[in-house]
Structure 1
Protein backbone atom coordinates (compact mmCIF):
# COMPACT_ATOMS: atom_id res chain seq x y z
CA UNK A 1 0.00 0.00 0.00
CA UNK A 2 1.36 3.38 -0.99
CA UNK A 3 1.54 6.14 1.58
CA UNK A 4 1.71 9.88 0.95
CA UNK A 5 5.52 9.89 0.80
CA UNK A 6 5.60 7.06 -1.76
CA UNK A 7 3.06 8.94 -3.89
CA UNK A 8 5.12 12.12 -3.64
CA UNK A 9 8.24 10.22 -4.70
CA UNK A 10 6.39 8.76 -7.69
CA UNK A 11 5.09 12.20 -8.72
CA UNK A 12 8.59 13.69 -8.52
CA UNK A 13 10.20 10.88 -10.51
CA UNK A 14 7.46 10.97 -13.14
CA UNK A 15 8.12 14.65 -13.63
CA UNK A 16 11.93 14.31 -13.67
CA UNK A 17 13.58 10.89 -13.45
CA UNK A 18 17.02 12.52 -13.44
CA UNK A 19 16.54 13.87 -9.92
CA UNK A 20 19.16 12.58 -7.53
CA UNK A 21 18.05 10.56 -4.53
CA UNK A 22 19.21 13.47 -2.39
CA UNK A 23 17.02 15.95 -4.31
CA UNK A 24 13.99 13.64 -4.00
CA UNK A 25 14.69 13.09 -0.30
CA UNK A 26 14.82 16.84 0.34
CA UNK A 27 11.49 17.40 -1.39
CA UNK A 28 9.71 14.64 0.56
CA UNK A 29 11.40 15.48 3.91
CA UNK A 30 13.44 12.28 4.26
CA UNK A 31 17.11 11.60 4.60
CA UNK A 32 18.88 10.02 1.64
CA UNK A 33 19.05 6.39 2.86
CA UNK A 34 15.34 5.91 3.68
CA UNK A 35 14.43 7.68 0.43
CA UNK A 36 16.72 5.39 -1.56
CA UNK A 37 15.17 2.32 0.13
CA UNK A 38 11.67 3.56 -0.75
CA UNK A 39 12.65 4.11 -4.39
CA UNK A 40 14.17 0.63 -4.53
CA UNK A 41 11.02 -0.84 -2.99
CA UNK A 42 8.84 1.02 -5.52
CA UNK A 43 10.95 -0.45 -8.32
CA UNK A 44 10.91 -3.96 -6.80
CA UNK A 45 7.12 -3.82 -6.35
CA UNK A 46 6.61 -2.79 -9.98
CA UNK A 47 5.41 0.78 -9.42
CA UNK A 48 8.41 2.06 -11.38
CA UNK A 49 8.81 0.07 -14.59
CA UNK A 50 11.80 1.97 -15.97
CA UNK A 51 13.30 5.41 -16.28
CA UNK A 52 13.48 6.94 -19.74
CA UNK A 53 14.23 10.13 -21.64
CA UNK A 54 11.25 11.76 -23.37
CA UNK A 55 12.30 13.00 -26.78
CA UNK A 56 11.07 16.09 -28.58
CA UNK A 57 9.27 15.04 -31.74
CA UNK A 58 9.70 18.23 -33.78
CA UNK A 59 13.51 18.09 -34.21
CA UNK A 60 13.12 14.41 -35.11
CA UNK A 61 10.52 15.37 -37.74
CA UNK A 62 7.91 13.01 -36.29
CA UNK A 63 4.98 15.40 -36.19
CA UNK A 64 2.05 13.29 -37.37
CA UNK A 65 -0.15 11.27 -35.01
CA UNK A 66 -2.40 8.74 -36.71
CA UNK A 67 -5.12 6.82 -34.92
CA UNK A 68 -5.66 3.53 -36.72
CA UNK A 69 -8.94 1.70 -36.19
CA UNK A 70 -8.77 -1.98 -37.03
CA UNK A 71 -11.50 -4.56 -37.47
CA UNK A 72 -10.84 -8.24 -37.94
CA UNK A 73 -12.97 -11.28 -38.59
CA UNK A 74 -10.26 -13.50 -37.12
CA UNK A 75 -10.81 -13.95 -33.39
CA UNK A 76 -8.38 -16.71 -32.52
CA UNK A 77 -5.09 -17.06 -30.67
CA UNK A 78 -2.94 -17.53 -33.75
CA UNK A 79 -4.21 -14.37 -35.44
CA UNK A 80 -3.81 -12.38 -32.21
CA UNK A 81 -0.24 -13.62 -31.79
CA UNK A 82 0.59 -12.71 -35.40
CA UNK A 83 -1.00 -9.28 -35.00
CA UNK A 84 0.78 -8.65 -31.70
CA UNK A 85 4.14 -9.66 -33.19
CA UNK A 86 3.58 -7.34 -36.16
CA UNK A 87 2.64 -4.41 -33.94
CA UNK A 88 5.58 -4.98 -31.59
CA UNK A 89 7.98 -5.06 -34.56
CA UNK A 90 6.80 -1.72 -35.97
CA UNK A 91 8.47 1.17 -34.11
CA UNK A 92 5.92 3.66 -35.43
CA UNK A 93 3.27 2.08 -33.19
CA UNK A 94 3.39 3.99 -29.93
CA UNK A 95 0.31 2.42 -28.36
CA UNK A 96 -1.91 -0.54 -29.20
CA UNK A 97 -5.18 -1.52 -27.56
CA UNK A 98 -7.74 -4.30 -27.92
CA UNK A 99 -11.07 -2.52 -27.76
CA UNK A 100 -14.70 -3.16 -26.97
CA UNK A 101 -17.40 -1.86 -29.29
CA UNK A 102 -17.33 -1.44 -33.07
CA UNK A 103 -13.55 -1.42 -33.45
CA UNK A 104 -11.44 -4.43 -32.47
CA UNK A 105 -8.06 -2.70 -32.13
CA UNK A 106 -6.81 0.87 -31.86
CA UNK A 107 -3.26 1.94 -32.65
CA UNK A 108 -1.59 5.30 -32.14
CA UNK A 109 1.09 5.65 -34.77
CA UNK A 110 3.70 8.42 -35.02
CA UNK A 111 5.23 9.17 -38.41
CA UNK A 112 6.94 11.97 -40.28
CA UNK A 113 4.27 12.59 -42.89
CA UNK A 114 1.44 11.00 -44.90
CA UNK A 115 3.88 9.19 -47.19
CA UNK A 116 5.51 7.59 -44.14
CA UNK A 117 2.07 6.54 -42.91
CA UNK A 118 1.31 5.02 -46.31
CA UNK A 119 4.47 2.91 -46.07
CA UNK A 120 3.50 1.88 -42.53
CA UNK A 121 -0.03 0.97 -43.67
CA UNK A 122 1.26 -1.19 -46.55
CA UNK A 123 3.66 -2.98 -44.20
CA UNK A 124 0.89 -3.62 -41.66
CA UNK A 125 -1.61 -5.05 -44.13
CA UNK A 126 1.08 -7.23 -45.72
CA UNK A 127 1.85 -8.82 -42.34
CA UNK A 128 -1.64 -9.48 -40.96
CA UNK A 129 -5.01 -10.19 -42.53
CA UNK A 130 -7.40 -7.38 -41.53
CA UNK A 131 -11.11 -6.99 -42.33
CA UNK A 132 -11.09 -3.18 -42.21
CA UNK A 133 -8.59 -0.44 -41.46
CA UNK A 134 -9.48 3.23 -41.12
CA UNK A 135 -7.26 6.06 -40.02
CA UNK A 136 -7.69 9.51 -38.53
CA UNK A 137 -4.94 12.09 -38.50
CA UNK A 138 -4.69 14.31 -35.43
CA UNK A 139 -4.92 17.96 -36.38
CA UNK A 140 -3.71 19.36 -33.05
CA UNK A 141 -2.48 17.89 -29.79
CA UNK A 142 -4.35 19.56 -26.94
CA UNK A 143 -2.81 17.55 -24.11
CA UNK A 144 -0.06 14.99 -23.85
CA UNK A 145 1.45 13.64 -20.67
CA UNK A 146 3.23 10.56 -19.46
CA UNK A 147 2.50 11.39 -15.81
CA UNK A 148 -0.10 9.15 -14.18
CA UNK A 149 -2.40 10.78 -11.59
CA UNK A 150 -0.95 9.31 -8.37
Structure 2
Protein backbone atom coordinates (compact mmCIF):
# COMPACT_ATOMS: atom_id res chain seq x y z
CA UNK A 1 0.00 0.00 0.00
CA UNK A 2 2.76 2.49 0.92
CA UNK A 3 5.97 2.84 -1.04
CA UNK A 4 9.22 4.46 0.11
CA UNK A 5 8.16 7.91 -1.14
CA UNK A 6 4.92 7.71 0.83
CA UNK A 7 6.82 6.65 3.94
CA UNK A 8 9.31 9.50 3.59
CA UNK A 9 6.51 12.03 3.16
CA UNK A 10 4.59 10.66 6.15
CA UNK A 11 7.74 10.61 8.31
CA UNK A 12 8.43 14.24 7.48
CA UNK A 13 4.79 15.19 8.07
CA UNK A 14 4.83 13.45 11.48
CA UNK A 15 8.07 15.21 12.44
CA UNK A 16 6.82 18.66 11.43
CA UNK A 17 3.06 18.86 10.72
CA UNK A 18 3.27 22.63 10.20
CA UNK A 19 5.92 22.37 7.47
CA UNK A 20 5.07 23.83 4.09
CA UNK A 21 4.46 21.52 1.16
CA UNK A 22 7.72 22.76 -0.38
CA UNK A 23 9.67 21.85 2.78
CA UNK A 24 8.01 18.42 3.03
CA UNK A 25 8.82 17.69 -0.60
CA UNK A 26 12.44 18.85 -0.28
CA UNK A 27 13.04 16.84 2.91
CA UNK A 28 11.44 13.79 1.28
CA UNK A 29 13.50 14.09 -1.91
CA UNK A 30 10.51 14.54 -4.22
CA UNK A 31 9.03 17.37 -6.27
CA UNK A 32 6.22 19.55 -4.93
CA UNK A 33 3.86 18.20 -7.62
CA UNK A 34 4.72 14.61 -6.70
CA UNK A 35 4.23 15.35 -2.97
CA UNK A 36 0.88 17.02 -3.70
CA UNK A 37 -0.37 14.01 -5.68
CA UNK A 38 0.81 11.52 -3.08
CA UNK A 39 -0.62 13.42 -0.10
CA UNK A 40 -3.93 13.86 -1.94
CA UNK A 41 -4.00 10.10 -2.61
CA UNK A 42 -3.21 9.32 1.05
CA UNK A 43 -6.05 11.61 2.11
CA UNK A 44 -8.46 9.96 -0.34
CA UNK A 45 -7.45 6.53 1.01
CA UNK A 46 -8.09 7.67 4.56
CA UNK A 47 -4.45 7.29 5.63
CA UNK A 48 -4.19 11.01 6.31
CA UNK A 49 -7.23 12.16 8.24
CA UNK A 50 -6.18 15.78 8.60
CA UNK A 51 -3.90 17.84 10.74
CA UNK A 52 -4.65 19.06 14.21
CA UNK A 53 -3.31 21.23 16.95
CA UNK A 54 -2.05 19.50 20.09
CA UNK A 55 -2.95 21.64 23.08
CA UNK A 56 -0.97 21.51 26.31
CA UNK A 57 -3.79 21.65 28.86
CA UNK A 58 -1.34 22.49 31.67
CA UNK A 59 -0.15 25.58 29.80
CA UNK A 60 -3.78 26.76 29.85
CA UNK A 61 -4.09 26.28 33.58
CA UNK A 62 -5.56 22.76 33.68
CA UNK A 63 -3.16 21.16 36.16
CA UNK A 64 -5.21 18.08 37.07
CA UNK A 65 -5.70 15.11 34.75
CA UNK A 66 -7.73 12.09 35.83
CA UNK A 67 -8.48 8.85 34.04
CA UNK A 68 -11.88 7.46 35.04
CA UNK A 69 -12.72 3.85 34.25
CA UNK A 70 -16.38 2.92 34.14
CA UNK A 71 -18.35 -0.27 34.21
CA UNK A 72 -21.85 0.38 32.92
CA UNK A 73 -25.05 -1.19 34.28
CA UNK A 74 -26.19 -2.83 31.07
CA UNK A 75 -29.63 -3.92 32.25
CA UNK A 76 -31.07 -1.06 30.18
CA UNK A 77 -30.57 -1.68 26.42
CA UNK A 78 -29.81 2.04 25.89
CA UNK A 79 -27.35 2.29 28.78
CA UNK A 80 -24.23 2.57 26.66
CA UNK A 81 -25.68 5.18 24.27
CA UNK A 82 -27.18 7.21 27.12
CA UNK A 83 -23.88 7.24 28.99
CA UNK A 84 -21.89 8.28 25.89
CA UNK A 85 -24.30 11.09 25.03
CA UNK A 86 -24.13 12.48 28.56
CA UNK A 87 -20.32 12.10 28.79
CA UNK A 88 -19.82 13.95 25.48
CA UNK A 89 -21.68 16.92 26.97
CA UNK A 90 -19.18 17.37 29.84
CA UNK A 91 -16.66 20.01 28.64
CA UNK A 92 -13.88 18.74 30.91
CA UNK A 93 -14.01 15.28 29.30
CA UNK A 94 -11.31 15.45 26.64
CA UNK A 95 -11.25 11.80 25.58
CA UNK A 96 -13.63 8.83 25.63
CA UNK A 97 -12.47 5.28 24.92
CA UNK A 98 -14.40 2.01 24.91
CA UNK A 99 -13.01 -1.40 25.87
CA UNK A 100 -13.82 -5.07 25.83
CA UNK A 101 -13.51 -6.71 29.22
CA UNK A 102 -14.37 -5.74 32.79
CA UNK A 103 -14.01 -2.01 32.11
CA UNK A 104 -16.47 -0.66 29.53
CA UNK A 105 -15.26 2.93 29.08
CA UNK A 106 -12.50 5.31 30.06
CA UNK A 107 -12.89 9.07 30.26
CA UNK A 108 -9.96 11.47 30.40
CA UNK A 109 -10.94 14.48 32.48
CA UNK A 110 -8.98 17.73 32.94
CA UNK A 111 -9.53 20.34 35.63
CA UNK A 112 -7.86 23.55 36.76
CA UNK A 113 -7.15 22.24 40.26
CA UNK A 114 -8.44 19.68 42.75
CA UNK A 115 -11.35 21.91 43.82
CA UNK A 116 -12.46 22.22 40.18
CA UNK A 117 -12.06 18.44 39.69
CA UNK A 118 -14.13 17.79 42.82
CA UNK A 119 -16.87 20.04 41.43
CA UNK A 120 -16.82 18.31 38.02
CA UNK A 121 -16.79 14.87 39.62
CA UNK A 122 -19.64 15.51 42.05
CA UNK A 123 -21.95 17.43 39.72
CA UNK A 124 -21.20 16.10 36.24
CA UNK A 125 -19.45 12.73 36.41
CA UNK A 126 -21.59 11.19 39.15
CA UNK A 127 -24.68 12.44 37.27
CA UNK A 128 -23.82 10.28 34.23
CA UNK A 129 -26.45 7.58 33.72
CA UNK A 130 -26.12 3.82 34.22
CA UNK A 131 -22.87 3.79 36.22
CA UNK A 132 -22.27 0.46 37.95
CA UNK A 133 -18.66 1.12 39.00
CA UNK A 134 -16.02 3.88 38.75
CA UNK A 135 -12.28 3.75 39.25
CA UNK A 136 -10.29 7.00 39.26
CA UNK A 137 -6.60 7.23 38.41
CA UNK A 138 -4.92 10.59 39.06
CA UNK A 139 -2.25 11.37 36.51
CA UNK A 140 1.07 12.25 38.14
CA UNK A 141 3.26 12.60 35.04
CA UNK A 142 3.23 11.94 31.32
CA UNK A 143 6.38 10.00 30.52
CA UNK A 144 5.76 9.44 26.82
CA UNK A 145 3.16 10.64 24.40
CA UNK A 146 3.84 10.05 20.74
CA UNK A 147 1.36 9.37 17.96
CA UNK A 148 4.06 8.91 15.32
CA UNK A 149 4.37 5.54 13.65
CA UNK A 150 7.77 4.03 12.85
CA UNK A 151 7.49 4.47 9.08
Q: TM-score scaled to structure 1, two decimals?
A: 0.87
Q: Which residue in the other structure is 1:72 paired with?
A: 72
CA separation in 2, counterparts of 1:97 and 1:111? 19
Deviation at 1:76, TM superposition (A): 5.5
Helix, strand or coil at the partner of 2:136: strand
Q: Which residue in the other structure is 1:43 paired with?
A: 43
Q: Which residue in the other structure is 1:123 paired with?
A: 124
Q: Write the deviation string for residues 75-105 of structure 1: whole angstroms up to 9, x where unpaired.
A: 6552111122122222322322222333221
Helix, strand or coil at the partner of 1:127: coil
Q: Which residue in the other structure is 1:95 paired with?
A: 95
CA separation in 2, counterparts of 1:77 and 1:43? 37
CA separation in 1, counterparts of 2:75 and 2:105? 12
Does structure 2 retain, via aligned residues, the 8 Å contact 1:86–1:124? no
The farther-off stretch of 76-85 and 126-135 is 76-85
Please give the root-mean-square deviation of Cα atoms over the aligned residues, in Å: 1.9
* CA spacing shift, 1:135–1:4, aligned 2, 3 Å: same
Q: Write the deviation string for residues 55-83 of structure 1: whole angstroms up to 9, x where unpaired.
A: 23332012222110111221655211112
Deviation at 1:20, TM superposition (A): 0.9
Q: Which residue in the other structure is 2:31 paired with?
A: 31
**Equivalent residue pairs, number:** 150
* CA spacing shift, 1:46–1:112, aligned 2, 3 Å: same
Q: TM-score scaled to structure 2, two decimals?
A: 0.87
Deviation at 1:47, TM superposition (A): 1.2
Task: Show structure 2 runs of 5+ residues with no match.
Answer: none
Deviation at 1:38, TM superposition (A): 0.8
Q: Is 1:52 the equivalent of 2:74?
A: no
Q: Which residue in the other structure is 2:6 paired with?
A: 6
Helix, strand or coil at the partner of 2:13: helix
Task: Show structure 1 runs of 5+ residues with no match.
Answer: none
Q: Which residue in the other structure is 2:135 paired with?
A: 134
